[in-house]
A and B are shown apart, each in its own frame.
Chain A
């Protein structure tokens, strides 16, 4: 026990004496949250809109006014030909163009329908999709008011449950938690173990009376605590600064986070058992853990829209399961009864990884 205490103490010295390390550990969660919260948003404001009105009648003018008054669009220019549209897109002066066919009002009255073409800049598909969505709803809105008396139809009234304002920060916070925990736990532990291998101190530790389990646990405990401090910080900041709710049980959220931390720590130890250089450990952690956590977990791109092979791979990524859990608890107020499967997957991953690394962590070189 005396040996183990000494070991723990040493680990904390390492963390607090390395200014860069301390800065990463405590500064990174803050900066990332602020970055994601303020800079990266999915909501669109002030879409530059160009109108190519080939009809110039009362109806097209009314629709145009509706766009202008919606608050989302800014009418930048009147366009006069197809070529002009293309030019405006190329120039970047508009993000969307709306084309009314010739004789719009006449056709509308005679046939009961007329065509509007909506053109968006597909070079950024995400934004493009959102703009198209806004445009459709403005058009829908117009049709509903204009034709209310004339037609009876089925109307879809969308309501985004759990995130009615479509705030992207709500979406990012769970992903960010996964990212930060992965970084602190997996990256930092794998680096701190491989550093000892590089400096030769691991040789002395192995020869000492410490058992491998003690070495592993000694490496894990400090980062376990730090990662937990980070979770609390992120959740608190998200709630106070950005008003991200936690609708479910905070205790459950914390317990699930601890489970994810353990999984990430086991991954970190596992990495350090298969390599002996800090550099390689860092590369594996960054390319093998962080990128998938960002790209394949559903953090940024929804898992459901991935091709099958990627969907299968995403199942192997702990962050995917953690994300489902966190989104459930924070945004939907889900209780444990609905997320026990995901919890089980994480627990399984942690157990297998921990067992594998303890087995692989050699008592020799």
Chain B
């Protein structure tokens, strides 16, 4: 059996809201697969279906070759699930939390210590501290240890890094990479675009639908228009001028630069530079860039929705 997770045309509706629609994905063994999307994109619904906590309205979902509707009991024993918002008991100590989650899965910390040692050893100096008093990054490590403690065959991590600072996020992803190297299959969701490049493959999610599915580099080839990074000291002025241009496909701030894509396939940096200088931006610089994941996501979003709102 190669496919760890297969989703075929999965849909889920809550009253009037179509939370998921036509999601088709298959994730192979040992893959680190990311679902990228904002709140309300349907990521949590999808993870709950995979964790057998919700029934899909349409389509089929299989985990480890088992149907999520019929064989939920068998699936539950073999997966590790970390819901959004850290699911720990704040009034229990670090060690008590870990022991508890080991015991409810019918195992002990000692039996599987090898697997979590890498992560849990960082927490051991604080093992008597109440989980509620841990920092965001430490809570996240503990939650991951708890999800791993029964040696699951696949991990479902729903927004594990939301609300966590950049340093802890980076460390967390390093841990995920190491787990993957040990052969663990991991499905993870995140609203942060910069985390997407760390996955083997990603799916863009927006309003319950999949916008795209590919490797991080593959997905950027969906961005077809010429893209420029433009910098000037008056960023706001520059933004207004570029937005007003009839040739502009999109103009968005990316860090200290503006990413400008042009409707004309033949658009050139030197021409843009000259035009902007003529507009009075004396310190402007223009360079052609390769689209990143966030550029692609935005482009796909706009394509799907026409010109978003307004």
Contact = CB atoms under 8 A, between A and B. Distances in A.
Indicate if A touches B (C-beta under 8 A). Answer: yes
A13 B91 contact: yes
A204 B91 contact: no
Interface of B: 48, 51-55, 72, 76-77, 79, 81-89, 91-92, 96, 99-106, 146-147
A198 to B, nearest CB: 9
B55 A364 contact: yes
Interface in A209-250: 209-210
B91 A14 contact: yes
A7 B101 CA distance: 9
A199 B52 contact: no
Chain A binding surface SS class: helix
A46 interface: no
Contacts of A133: none
A9 B92 CA distance: 11
A203 to B, nearest CB: 5
Contacts of A2: 103, 106
B51 A207 contact: yes
Contacts of B100: 6-7, 9-10
Given A200-B84, A201-B89, A206-B53, A363 B72 contact: yes
A13 B96 contact: yes
Interface centre among A9, A17, A18, A201 (most CB of B within 10 A): A201
Contact of B81 (A18, A203, A363): A203
A203 B83 CA distance: 7
A207 B79 contact: yes
Contacts of A365: 48, 53-54
A82 interface: no
Contacts of A207: 51-53, 76, 79, 81
Interface string A347-365: 0000000000000000111
Given A13-B96, A207-B53, A365-B53, A6 B103 contact: yes
Interface residues of A, number: 25
B153 to A, nearest CB: 14
B92 A10 contact: yes
B106 to A, nearest CB: 5
A204 B157 CA distance: 12
A3 B53 contact: no
A203 B103 CA distance: 16
Contacts of A205: 104
Given A203-B51, A204-B81, A209-B104, A10 B76 contact: no
A365 B51 CA distance: 11
Contacts of B147: 204
Interface centre among B77, B86, B100, B101 (most CB of A within 10 A): B100
Given A207-B52, A207-B53, A209-B76, A3 B92 contact: no
A202 to B, nearest CB: 8
Contacts of B52: 207, 364
Top 8 closest A-B pairs, CB basis?
Answer: A6-B103, A200-B87, A208-B104, A200-B83, A17-B91, A203-B83, A365-B53, A201-B87
B44 to A, nearest CB: 10
Interface in A171-222: 199-201, 203-210
A5 interface: yes
A9 B95 CA distance: 13
B55 A3 contact: no
Contacts of B87: 199-201, 203-204
22 contacts: A2-B103, A6-B99, A6-B103, A10-B100, A13-B91, A14-B89, A17-B91, A18-B91, A200-B84, A203-B87, A204-B81, A204-B87, A204-B101, A204-B146, A204-B147, A207-B51, A208-B101, A208-B105, A209-B104, A365-B48, A365-B53, A365-B54
